[in-house]
Amino acid sequence: MMNAIDLYSGVGGWRLGLGALGVDVVRSYERWAPANATHGLNFGAAPPCIDIRAMTHAELPDPGTIDFVVGSPPCTQFSFANRGGNGDLEDGLVDVRRFLEVVRHLRPRAWAMENVPRVAGILSTELGAGGRLSEFRDLVGSIEVVDVSEFGLPQARRRMVAGSFDGNLLLSYRGQCPTPTLGQILASLAIDPVHDPNWGLAVGADKLTDHILEAPLTAEETRMNRDAKTHHTVYNSMSFPDRLDRPSRTVTATCTRVSRESIVIPVGSGFRRLTVRERAVLQGFPITFQFAGDTYSDKIKMVGNAIPPVLAFYVAQALQEIPPEAVLTLPEAGYRHRPFAYGVSTPPESRTRQHTSNRSFRYAIPGLRFRSGVRFEMKNVFIDGMTEWRIALLYGTSKNIIEGNLSGERIRACQAEFGLPDGVLMAGRLLAEHPFGGAFPTSADLQARWAGRAGGPGPHEVLDWLGAVSEALAAEFARCDSDRGVACARYLFPDFNTVKLRENWSAVLAGASLGALVNENWGWVGSAYARPPKQLAFAFDQRAAYSPADGLETCLDV
């Protein structure tokens, strides 16, 4: 029987994949106690907690006695999810270097390392001449990035696999096994007996652990999730709820009830997140696999950080140089996972009903979202312990974000100069006609409602109201001469994307007018000088308009 050691072993994803092919993982090395406890539930005695960075060669098997070295060094510093990709790469490379040092010392028959896709480029660079890992260049025969759904995992998950195996051989295994959809996984866990579509086994529903359904999302949580996924201010849109007719999106190690990364599915007339068990099956763990952990968050972390056992299974075949015509699928391997002990199901944490008093709010206004990060947004800011609610226009590029000047005096004067109606005045009239009437929350009340400390219409209701007003205002501007409208918007915001401005000039002028009114007359949310809504439109001093320095003809030339 061939053997292996598993570095940074987590809960045992590599051990499952290799074990299904009869490879004996003789030692596992992991420092996180809950992961080792999980390892113990499933495979026997829990491995000792070991910091691989600090361990000596004496804690390793003798050189020449191990067939395979596998493992998944921590990906936190390499992941784009960590501070937008600005993690500490130097720190991350410490673990990669340590992994390669162990390979060099043990001289295995073959080895494989799994990590996030970004590591492929980092390895290629650092293994080159002058790179920080150049001394290990002779060890690395292949660096591949694969989508594990092509190997039958019911999840779109791109991973990097590097090692001394034949990368083309691994790629030739793609498509050997059908890939279940998210809907099929959910359906398989909702029947009795429960069927495992990955491993081909079944158990009674009473034996299924960690499958406690979480409370449905609240209306506010639903709104926030939908906006984060379908109307994110910077990133591309994604489906809400998640589509059931294809593999799931990537299962992550951290996600909250309100998160762009959370997989959200329908339940009754509402929506919910996935259970730990649903996440685990999407990650390729058998339905009999057990999880140890004191908290629900710990178990989510275990699943999201693990290598999918399905990927480990096929990498193990590449390590053994099995030709594509002889490769096995998981059901064909006939492995039936039987845990040594059953874990205790951990209920989801109760949802938060109150938040900190300075809970931030920053969402784009419906109808004023122009993609690529260009938008009018409503946000709260905190000055000297007081909350102020504002509208901001953000545009430009990701490296040069510009906040537009929403001065009411400037906007009204420019509109007059280009022969356009007074948008600020029109915005005030539309605000006054809104069904909310005079029942607007004060600034303090709006913040209290957003923090969960008071009832009544909150920021999202106000956001929708502003969206409706802006659409009506944009329709009024659209009746004006478009060349003059484009020229006015271009003069006000000269760095605004020309194509977007031509396509959305009436909405841009509407948002600017509405923003000017709201920012300079925040009485409708209860400042110290609150006025009845119908007076808002007349709050500005009537001052002489200025003339654009470049002249009308220049601004029309767009």
Q: Are residues 114 and 251 in the same domain?
A: no
Q: Are residues 448 and 368 in the same domain?
A: yes
Q: Are residues 50 and 137 in the same domain?
A: yes
pLDDT digit string (tens) for 215-250? 999 998 999 999 888 887 667 788 999 999 999 999
Q: Are residues 270 and 307 in the same domain?
A: no
**pLDDT for 544 beyond 60:** no
Handedness of CA 292, 295, 299, 301 (dihedral sign): negative
145 belongs to a structural domain: yes
Assign 400 a pLDDT band (cuts: 50, 70, 90).
Answer: confident
Q: Are residues 250 and 314 in the same domain?
A: no
Comparing 477 with 438, the larger pLDDT belongs to 477
Assign 530 a pLDDT band (cuts: 50, 70, 90).
Answer: very low
Q: Are residues 511 and 411 in the same domain?
A: yes
187 belongs to a structural domain: no
Q: Are residues 116 and 245 in the same domain?
A: no
Q: Are residues 325 and 377 in the same domain?
A: no
Comparing 512 with 220, the larger pLDDT belongs to 512
Q: Write down the mean pLDDT value for the chain.
A: 88
Looking at the structure of the chain, the number of domains it has is 3
Count other C-beta atoms under 10 Å from residue 524's C-beta: 26
- pLDDT, mean of residues 35-47: 94
Q: Are residues 167 and 250 in the same domain?
A: no
Assign 534 a pLDDT band (cuts: 50, 70, 90).
Answer: very low
pLDDT digit string (tens) for 62-121? 999 999 999 999 876 555 454 444 567 788 899 999 999 999 999 999 999 999 999 999
Query: CA dist 384 to 153, 331, 357, 381, Å?
Result: 52, 63, 14, 10
Range of the domain at 223: 213-274
Assign 440 a pLDDT band (cuts: 50, 70, 90).
Answer: low
Structure-token pair, residue 480: 């004006």
Assign 537 a pLDDT band (cuts: 50, 70, 90).
Answer: very low
- pLDDT, mean of residues 123-131: 94
CATH number where 18 lies: 3.40.50.150
pLDDT digit string (tens) for 462-473? 899 899 999 999
379 belongs to a structural domain: yes
pLDDT digit string (tens) for 348-389? 987 666 789 999 999 999 999 998 889 999 999 998 888 888
The DSSP letter of residue 30 is B
**pLDDT for 399 beyond 90:** no
- pLDDT, mean of residues 15-44: 96
82 belongs to a structural domain: yes
The angle at the Cα of 211, spanning 206 to 213, to the nearest 5 degrees, equals 120
186 belongs to a structural domain: no
Edge to edge, what strands does the sheet with 400-403 contain? 362-369, 375-383, 386-397, 400-403
What is d(CA 408, CA 553) in angstroms, rounded to the nearest whole number? 24
268 belongs to a structural domain: yes
**pLDDT for 547 beyond 50:** no
Q: Are residues 432 and 544 in the same domain?
A: yes
What is d(CA 155, CA 248) in angstroms, rounded to the nearest whole number? 4
Comparing 66 with 259, the larger pLDDT belongs to 66
According to the model, what pLDDT value does residue 430 have? 84
477 belongs to a structural domain: yes
